[in-house]
Structure 1
Amino acid sequence: MTAHLILKIAHILSGAVLFGTGAGIAFFMLRAHMTKDPRTIASVGRMVVLADFVFTSTAVVIQPLSGLALIHLQGYALTEPWLVAAYVLYVLIGVCWLPVVWIQWRMTRLAEQAARDGASLPPLYHRLFMAWFALGWPAFAGVIAVYALMVAKPVF
């Protein structure tokens, strides 16, 4: 197996992990939120935060490293317009994702506290959920757009 093939597989798989983990996390957090049960939200939240740390953060590192190596091996200029668009989108995705990680962690802590106290979720939890939900959409759309750029390699 060549270095090019190994890098390509790593890049495709890390992209799949990035997209799949993000979609899975969104699904499970949303479903937990819909129960309005602090114990369920706390339990799912702990798993989601762990999954983000283990899978998403690993893919976030592998993506640019494998991508830059593939750019070099395939002879593309770093300034190809479709690559520059992908870089911009990757930064946008990161700008959305980083606060989402903190928000998920904070929502989980608030749900754990409510569960311990036998209380309802506090208003801060609901405000954080709305921010989490709002930040998820541009990140999700950005990942799809990066996939489109990687496949089409359009000429601008």
Structure 2
Amino acid sequence: MYEWLKIIHILSGAVLFGTGAGIAFFMLRAHMTRNVVTMAAVGSIVVLADFVFTATAVVVQPISGLGLIHLQGYSLTEPWLMAAYGLYVLIGICWLPVVWIQMELAKMAKRAQVEGEALPPRYFSLFRIWFILGWPAFAGVIGIYWLMVAKPVF
């Protein structure tokens, strides 16, 4: 049971990290084209990927993590686990608005495509917020990986 749970936990962590990195790459590259057709298409794919992959991993991670904590006999209040919980919350605080922003960006790009107009200034403001929120989320995921591997004593 432990090995299966650990595999699930590692794979869902990889999905969380990989999907996040992939979404960031593709959104940034689409944005850089300034082509509203590309931006609309990539934006809608990114939103779908976030719901299918990221959201699933967000649910699986704490469930599998709690199972591993129990099977390994750790206390839920180990300092390194408390730090991981804090980072997980930070990531969530960043991710939730990012998902909403991605939906808005995709809608604005699609509207600009259909109407043959330029993107509104709001698109670029939201994109900057999206970009900024990605950094603490990315660093948080790296921090959790480090905590899981190192299990430091504070």
**TM-score, length-scaled by structure 2:** 0.99
Task: Percent identity, please.
Answer: 72
Q: Structure 1 runs of 4+ off > 3 angstroms?
A: none
1:97 corresponds, among 95, 106, 109, to 95
The two structures have a TM-score, normalised by structure 1, of 0.98
The alpha-carbon deviation at position 120 of structure 1 amounts to 1.1
Corresponding residue to 2:64 among 66, 71, 75: 66
Report how many residues are paired. 154
Q: 2:118 and 2:18 mapped to 1: Cα distance?
A: 31
Which among 111, 114, 119 is matched to residue 112 of structure 2? 114
Distance 2:130 2:37 in 1: 19
Deviations 1:29-75 (A, max 9, x none): 00000001111100000110000000000000000000000000000
Per mean C-alpha deviation after superposition, the further-off stretch among 116-125 and 77-86 is 116-125
Amino acid at match of 1:39: V
Give the Å deviation of 1:119: 1.0
Structure 2, unaligned stretches of length 5 or more?
none
Q: Distance in 2 between matches of 1:41 and 1:50?
A: 14
Q: CA RMSD in A?
A: 0.4
Aligned to 2:145: 147
What 5-or-longer segments of structure 1 have no aligned partner? none
